[in-house]
Amino acid sequence: MSYNDLTHFNASGEAHMVDVGSKSVTIREGVAEGRIFMQPETLKRIMEGSHKKGDVLGIARVAGIMGAKRTPDIIPLCHPIMITAVDVELVPEPEKNAVYCKAVVRCGGQTGVEMETLTAVQVALLTIYDMCKAVDRGMVISDVGLLEKSGGKSGHWRRSANA
């Protein structure tokens, strides 16, 4: 693969922002997931709502939404897009000592929402880490990835079950 195969590099190998002006406006959606693993006592505090810092999952949900909206501010070549919806779902998984996060981001635009969707998951999970690090510094964020995307020239894509 050469620099010419990557759209974020020009013919000279220099980074540049891709011109999406000629692309059609379509409804686009991204779905991503991830987990944060923790000590059983940390998860118990989150589930009981007894954590000193308050509603950990509620705050993480809002942080995920805000993260999706701010994606072009932290990913250098990412286009600002008009997001129409962000859903962030956080589900405690006691059998895994983890919290599962799934984010769905939608827009009508000329470029996809994969980066916004992945950012929503990462920021939500990082917020859980930040709120709980005083009692559990060993938490691990893992398994973050895109599950599905739709819209645009490439159409619908879904991660295979083996990935």
Q: Indicate which residues carry an active-site annotation.
A: 130
Residues 6 or more apart whose CB falls under 8 angstroms from that of 72 comprise 78, 79, 80, 81
The DSSP code sequence of 63-101 is HHHHHHHTHHHHSTTPPP--EEEEEEEEEEEGGGTEEEE
| H/E segment holding residue 58 | helix 56-69
Cα 41 from Cα 74, distance rounded (Å): 33
